């Protein structure tokens, strides 16, 4: 791609993340690489002349400095013809980012040389009427009233998968299976599989279990009378509210997420999983 | 007690419940028994001259017609020197009420003859600063922001029981163990035991399990930085919000709940449990 | 296939199954269809001249009358170039058989007319040294000593998936995910997916969860010192014992199972699942 | 008690344990304390003249060097008028022993001075016909045939608690709740409570949950037709086999276990629990 141009996004509430950002930008400047910075990050770094809103960033590679939360937020806002992302991990939870802070500069160097692989991860498209969004980790449909269960039906085509009263339902991608779905008793899913993990949360029906479903199925969820309305939360952010007349559709998004992976810094999935399983708080 | 006076509360959204209420009141009138009706119920039944607010009801026995929700609401509002309650079950969930609609009149007759036992069930007192309430089923401390975990520490005296990040924590009585706590993977607790069932909901720490603790222990819960604020929900109703500076105290209430039990209509606990476990939605 | 020839196997401890067998055989005889009977079944039905050992049965279609246990046993013994099976359900558990006894004759009629689909279900090959077997539902590796945990490592290629001390590990197919794996807290798997469900049973490590893995991965399990020896149980039957020096290999079998499915009697997967989830004993 | 006499039992497969044993015995000898050694331990230490079978040991205090397994074995064999036990922890699992190896001598010194508390822990008595044993951790009733479920009914007095088909049932004391029962999804139980934790293992009925029952209830378990026979395993050791005609009774033993606790070395229960929850294999 000639020499790649770089866009940069960082957590703005972490001195460590901002330091790494500065170091990288200085390096890019010295090397004469074309770069720009996401607006909010640029504000904090006082680089106003380089500021670009995330959804207009026209860089070949986007570098995200932060934890999984920062990465999920970046993916929400990157324009549709989505750019590959390189994650540099600063923060407690970093399943999506393989690069540790101490390797940040070498990683950028490898990327500029073109020494990387592109990894494509499926996202779930969530639609309600004409509203559309994509989930990299999960969509959560949850009661809008604390401690009041919602009543739901989940179907694929015209087949009922289950019906029940519960706190909520998680629809996770393979990528998201190690996140909220795992805390809610979902299984671990090997990254080579492309599936939907559907987890009923605290169901009245004690015999309900998590479901693993082909990502090629189209799922729909409806609330049943007299359910209170529900919130849809996508990758941790509120998407919209639905009532008993509406249908939530969930299916494989035509726009997957793409990550840059560097051979030298690749961390094994099951190794990262053991880290998660070790955390005590 | 001479002849007992009767106070009556009913669901107002169920024709069946209101019918039973009318039948009972006609019977009490014919027998010359002293009675009064809770205000909202009285409104719907057009018995304004008999209306008394629940918290001023000075009857010897209070008859509650409805499901567990109606009963829990009644207990919230009954004055402190609490009256014994007779539950008549109308509705889906009726763990707390043994009397089925078809036996309502005979049950009232037995009560007037004094043929009953009194069953005392412990409640949990929940205090924050100078705010106080009692839980018959459970107190739930839950994140005030959907899909954002809270960080909590739970202690007894100065001993840490656990610390973790999670969706919420349930503190259930033995009575409440068959309710929300059971859906959240808590154990079944024999009604002869008096305990606190503490259930961490969807913890990041995958090795956390439900806890069963003596009801004589005083528990306290604190949020830890940088936790978002939490809501406290008691028996399904919002109690108040807490932030990281406040302490929630949970301990055995000096004011238990008292139920009237009639030998002839007594339903076995494990039989009722099998009913719950059979429900498919 | 011209007119199909039929082989028949039945439970021999159920009068209902044997009655159905007789009815079917009389029908085949009247229609002039070529048929034979598995040896043990033939003994009980006193049809010695038609008896053929299961592993020599050269019929186009094999009809199995019984529950899942009978079917699993039939599949164990059918010769390698495996024949399609039509299951007729007699018994409590019948996830694998769609045909109810009252439809048995019509089903046979449809089969003879060629009105059926063939459904192919993956099996797992289990090898230890030069010993080989195939699992339609699951392979269980379990301690040979009651109440003594075994220590295991599970790898794929050279990657460690997990290591732990536990009662056993289940490796289930998609087909078997509704069986033992489900009781041991495994997820429900949509029949359109082809996966391995691996469930650690009662692990000392409380943070272990069930795993869902692509069926194209080759898994291996080794016992670690000082583990007691383990039994390998395949589809409910003892396969062999292993010690700490041996390796158990698990991967997709080149010989899948094939079922005949009849459009008219097809039962929906999620409907059958709800039946399982309703059972109270 | 004047000066206490000491009996000593040690793991014989651990050089560390045997070293500690020697150090303690040398110390007791120097101090002129009366002591004896359990027979198998004495054999290994070549102290034949001091050897006494465990069930004839007439010492005031019994010192057990090893992990929970060694302690459980000691308790099985100590005579009925049971002596208090001081556990010195050598080995991976040591919930029952508070004393670490480096504190062994000081602990003995405190005991000789009488500076200790006695802690009484309930045991469960298990009887079948005229056979009797006591469980400090748990009694497990499990299928005698690998991968074949047993059918059981559990009753208290004449009330059915549950009926089901499953791999087994654990009846744990409060002490044992952190052991096998916890791995099988049982709750954590505060040591101040005296209960029976009953855990159904891998039940066909997916809505079964662990039970917590007053230790004052008398439980009985019967196998139901056509169940295979079951093994009863008590504290990890085979007790006996039962068939469908027999009844297993479980209730609070009149002979509790007694532990010596030293204030200075006391480890908090929830702290020890966190250690267990940290273990990764």
**ipTM for the complex shown:** 0.93
pLDDT digits (tens, 9 = 90+) for B160-173: 999 999 999 999 99
Q: B107, B135, B130, B10: which is closest to B64 by C-alpha?
A: B10
Instruction: Report the distance separating Cα C188 and Cα C178, nearest Å.
Output: 6
Query: Nearest Cβ partner of C204 from D142, D148, D279?
Result: D279
Q: Does D277 touch chain A (CB under 8 A)?
A: yes
Establish if A213 touches chain C: CB-CB under 8 angstroms: yes
Q: Are D66 and D17 in contact (CB under 8 A)?
A: yes
* CA distance linking residue B260 with residue A259, whole number of Å: 65
CATH topology of domain D124-252: Tumour Suppressor Smad4 (2.60.200)
Distance CA(A125)–CA(A234), nearest Å, equals 10
Determine which of D69, D223, D226, D281 to mutate to test the interface with C (most C C-beta atoms within 10 Å). Answer: D281
- Number of other residues whose CB lies within 10 A of the CB of residue A216: 12
CB distance D195–B211 less than 8 Å? Answer: no
Closest CA of chain B from D156, distance in Å: 11
- For C279, other C-beta atoms within 10 Å of its C-beta total 16
- Cα–Cα distance for residue pair D195/C83, rounded to 1 Å: 55
CB C124 within 8 A of CB C218: no
Cβ atoms of B139 and B175 within 8 Å: the answer is no
Are residues A47 and A21 in contact, defined by beta-carbon separation less than 8 angstroms? no
Per-residue pLDDT at C165: 96
For chain C, give every residue range classified as CATH 2.60.200.30: 124-252
Is C204 within 8 Å of chain B by CB?
no
Is A205 close to B281, i.e. CB distance below 8 A?
Answer: yes
Chain B closest CA to D240's CA: distance in Å?
29
Please identify among residues 216-245 of chain A the ones whose CB lies closer than 8 Å to any CB of chain C.
216-217
Helix, strand, coil shares of chain D, percent, nearest 5, are: 25, 35, 35
CB spacing of B197 vs D187 below 8 angstroms: yes
- pLDDT, residue B1, reads 47
Mean pLDDT score, C239-248: 96
Mean pLDDT across B240-253:
96
- The domain made up of A6-122+256-278 has a fold known as Rossmann fold (3.40.50)
Average pLDDT, chain C: 93
Please state, in angstroms and rounded to a whole number, the distance separating the CA atoms of residues B277 and D255.
Answer: 37
- To test the contact with chain D by mutation, choose from B270, B276, B280 the residue with the greatest count of D C-beta atoms within 10 A, namely B270
State which residue of chain D sits closest to B270, comparing Cα positions: D161
User: Among all chains, which residue has been given the structure tokens 């289950």?
Assistant: A162
Listed in order, the ranges of chain C carrying CATH 3.40.50.10330 are 6-121+256-278
Marked catalytic residue, from C68, C98, C167, C235: C68
Determine contact: A160 vs chain C, CB below 8 A.
Answer: yes
Inform me whether the pLDDT recorded for B2 exceeds 80: no
D185 C-beta neighbours (distance < 10 Å), count: 19
Give CA–CA dist C220/C249, Å, rounded: 4
Q: Which of C97, C112, C250 is nearest to C170 (CA)?
A: C250
CB-based contact C187 A159, cutoff 8 Å: no
pLDDT tops 70 at residue B133: yes
Give yes or no for residue C2 having a pLDDT over 70.
Answer: no
Cβ–Cβ under 8 Å, residues D35 and D60: no
Provide the H-helix boundaries in B126-279. Answer: 180-183, 269-278
Is residue B71 classed exposed, middle or buried when 0-12, 13-18 and 19+ CB atoms within 10 A define those classes? buried
- CB-nearest to A270 from C161, C189, C192 is C161
Torsion sign over Cα D153, D159, D162, D163? positive
Measured from the Cβ of residue A33, the count of other Cβ atoms closer than 10 Å reads 16
Q: Which fold has domain C6-121+256-278?
A: Rossmann fold (3.40.50)
Length of chain D: 281
Those chains having 3 or more beta-carbon pairs within 8 angstroms of chain A are B, C, D
Confidence at residue D4, expressed as pLDDT on a 0 to 100 scale: 83
The alpha helices in A114-195, defined as continuous H runs, are 180-183
Q: pLDDT band for position B83 (50/70/90)?
A: confident
C268 is catalytic: no
For residue B173, the surrounding DSSP H or E stretch is strand B168-173
Start-to-end CA span in chain D (Å) = 44
Q: What is the pLDDT of residues D199-210, one digit of tens each?
A: 999 999 999 999
Q: So what's the pLDDT on residue C31?
A: 94
| pLDDT band with cut points at 50, 70 and 90 for residue C80 | low
Q: In what order do the strands lie in the sheet with B150-156?
A: B131-135, B124-128, B247-252, B219-223, B150-156, B159-166
User: Closest to A187 (Cβ–Cβ): which among C192, C212, C278?
Assistant: C212
B81 inside 8 A of chain C by CB? no
Whole-number mean pLDDT of chain A?
Answer: 93
Kindly indicate the confidence band of residue B95, based on its pLDDT and cuts at 50, 70 and 90.
confident
**Residue A224 — φ and ψ, nearest 5°?**
-115, 145
Contact D109, D236 (CB under 8 A): no
Among the ranges given (B90-104, C128-142, D141-155), the one the predictor scored with the smallest mean pLDDT: B90-104
Q: Which chains are adjacent to chain B, needing at least 3 Cβ pairs under 8 Å? A: A, C, D
pLDDT at A1: 47
Res B79: pLDDT: 66
CB contact under 8 A, B204 and A281: yes
B207 at interface of D, judged by CB pairs closer than 8 A: yes
User: For residue C99, what pLDDT is reported?
Assistant: 92
Q: Is B277 on the interface with A (CB under 8 A)?
A: yes
Closest CA to D253 of D152, D127, D162: D127
| Start-to-end Cα distance in chain A | 44
**How far does the CA of residue D278 sit from the closest CA of chain A (Å)?**
7
| Rounded average pLDDT over C128-150 | 94
CB contact under 8 A, A162 and C189: no
Task: Provide the whole-model pTM.
Answer: 0.95
Chain C partners within 8 Å of A207 (Cβ): 277-278
Q: What is the pLDDT of residues C176-205, one digit of tens each?
A: 999 999 999 999 999 999 999 999 999 999
Stretches where chain D sits below pLDDT 70 are 1-2, 79-81
Distance from CA of C151 to the nearest CA of D (A): 8
Contacts of B193 in chain D (CB under 8 A): 193, 195, 212-214
CB B199 within 8 A of CB B181: yes
Question: Which of chain B's residues have a Cβ under 8 Å away from the Cβ of C164?
Answer: none
Mean pLDDT over C4-11 rounds to 93
pLDDT-flagged residues of chain A (< 70): 1-2, 79-81
**For residue B136, which of B188, B190, B82, B99 has the smallest C-alpha distance?**
B82
Other residues' Cβ atoms within 10 Å of the Cβ of residue A133: 19
Size of interface A-B (CB pairs under 8 A): 73
| Nearest-CA distance A108 → chain B (Å) | 32
Task: Tell me whether C210 touches chain A (CB under 8 Å).
Answer: yes
- Contact present, B19 and B101 (Cβ < 8 Å): no
């Amino acid at each position: 791609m000639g020499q790649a141009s770089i866009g940069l996004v960082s957590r703005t509430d972490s001195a460590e993340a901002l330091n790494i950002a500065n170091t990288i930008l200085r390096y890019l400047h010295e090397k004469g690489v074309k770069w720009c910075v996401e607006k909010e990050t640029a504000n904090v770094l006082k680089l106003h002349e380089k500021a670009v809103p995330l959804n207009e960033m026209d860089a070949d590679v986007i570098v995200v400095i932060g934890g999984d939360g920062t990465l999920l937020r970046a993916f929400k806002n990157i324009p549709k013809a989505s750019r590959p992302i390189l994650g540099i991990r600063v923060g407690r939870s970093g399943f999506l980012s393989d690069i540790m802070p101490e390797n940040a500069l070498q990683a950028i160097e490898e990327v500029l040389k073109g020494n990387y692989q592109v990894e494509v991860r499926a996202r779930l498209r969530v639609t309600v009427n004409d509203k559309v969004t994509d989930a990299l980790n999960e969509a959560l449909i949850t009661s809008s009233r604390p401690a009041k269960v919602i009543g739901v039906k989940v179907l694929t085509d015209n087949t009922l998968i289950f019906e029940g009263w519960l706190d909520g339902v998680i629809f996770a991608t393979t990528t998201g299976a190690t996140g909220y779905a795992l805390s809610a008793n979902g299984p671990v899913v090997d990254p080579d599989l492309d599936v939907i993990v559907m987890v009923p949360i605290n169901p009245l029906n004690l015999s309900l279990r998590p479901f693993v479903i082909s990502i090629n199925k189209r799922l729909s969820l409806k609330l049943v009378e007299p359910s209170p309305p529900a919130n849809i939360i996508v990758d941790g952010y509120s998407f919209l509210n639905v009532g008993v007349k509406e249908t939530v559709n969930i299916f494989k998004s035509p726009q997957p997420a793409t990550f840059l992976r560097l051979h030298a810094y690749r961390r094994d999935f099951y190794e990262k999983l053991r880290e998660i399983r070790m955390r005590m708080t």
